[in-house]
Structure 1
Amino acid sequence: MSLESLVLDSQGLSGWVDRDRKVMLLLEQAERDGVDIAMSAVTIIEASHSGVDVARMSWLLSRIRVEPVTKESARRSAGLLKSVGLHGHKYAIDAMVAEVALRLPGPVAVLTSDVDDMVKLCGRRVRVISL
C-alpha cells in the first residue's frame, strides 16, 4: 500500500464494522504495513444507526486514532469548502474527513464512498480509494 496514513470516512468505518470483504482486506494490509489508521470524530456520528454493532464499533475505535473536531479544524474544514466552491451541510462532514487527511503525515489515502467530493477537497495531495 506504501502509505503513512489511512483515513476512513463513514462508509469505510461502516464497512469495517460490518466486516465488508474489501474494507477488511485493505485495513488488514494497512495494519501489517504499520500504516496509521485514523478518522474524524464526526465519522462516528455519521456511521452510527440503530443496526450498528455498538460493541464491535467501540472495539474498532479503540484500535485507531480518532481525531477530535476543534475550532481550528472546523475553520480549516470551512476553508477547504470555500476554496473549492462548496458549502452547506451536504459537504460538511466530507470537509472534516478531508481536513484530517490533509494534516496527517503522507503519503495519505482516504477510504471513501464519496470519491468526487474527496478529490475536489483533497486534490492530488491525498490518494482516494473508492468503496
Structure 2
Amino acid sequence: MTGQGGTLVLDSEGLSKVALDDRRVMSLVRGAQDEDMRVVASVLTLIEAHHRRVNQPRFDWVVSRLVVEPVSEAIGRKAMALLKDAGLHGHKYAIDAVVAATALQARRPAMILTSDPEDLELLCGRDIRIVKV
C-alpha cells in the first residue's frame, strides 16, 4: 500500500478493536485501505494495547498488516510541544501526545480512531479528523 490517500492512525482502543475484529472499526479500516490510506500505529500503541488476555496470534497478524511508527526524537519533541500547548502533563497524556504527533506528521488527510476523542482533539486541534470508536 502506497498511502497516497492519507493516513489512518489507530490508538490503543482502535488497535484493540481491530484485533477483536470489531465490525464497525474493521469497516473503517477497510474503507481507509480502499482509499489507499496508510494504516499506522505508534510502537507505544502496541505496548499500550497488549495485555495477557490478548489473542497473541491475532494481535501479531493485525500488527503485521499495519505500519508501525517508531517514536523518533522529532515525534517526541512534537508530543512535548503539543502537551505544553494543551496544558497537559506527560505523566497522564504521553501516549495520546505521541499518537497525536504521529498523526500530525503523517500524510494528509489524516484520521485517528480513538476511544478518547476529547483529549486527542485538544492535542491535534482541527488538523486531524478524530473518530470515536
Q: Confirm or deny a common fold (TM above 0.5).
A: yes
> Could you tell me which residue of structure 2 aligns to residue 63 of structure 1?
65
> Could you tell me which residue of structure 1 aligns to residue 28 of structure 2?
26
Aligned Cα RMSD in Å? Answer: 1.0
Separation of aligned partners in 2, 1:65 and 1:91: 23
- Spell out the pairing of 1:16-95 with structure 2 (5 A cutoff): 16-95=18-97
| TM-score of the aligned structures, taking structure 2 as reference length | 0.93
Separation of aligned partners in 1, 2:105 and 2:73: 15
Note the C-alpha offset of 1:110: 0.3
Runs of 4+ in 1 over 4 A off after TM superposition: none
**Are 1:14 and 2:16 an aligned pair?**
yes
Give the aligned length: 129
| TM-score of the aligned structures, taking structure 1 as reference length | 0.94
Structure 1: runs of 5 or more not aligned: none
Separation of aligned partners in 2, 1:122 and 1:72: 16
Code of the residue aligned with 1:70 in structure 2: it is: S
Per-residue CA shift, 1:29-83, capped at 9, x if unaligned? 1112211111111000110011111111111111111110122221211111001
Note the C-alpha offset of 1:4: 1.1
Structure 2: runs of 5 or more not aligned: none
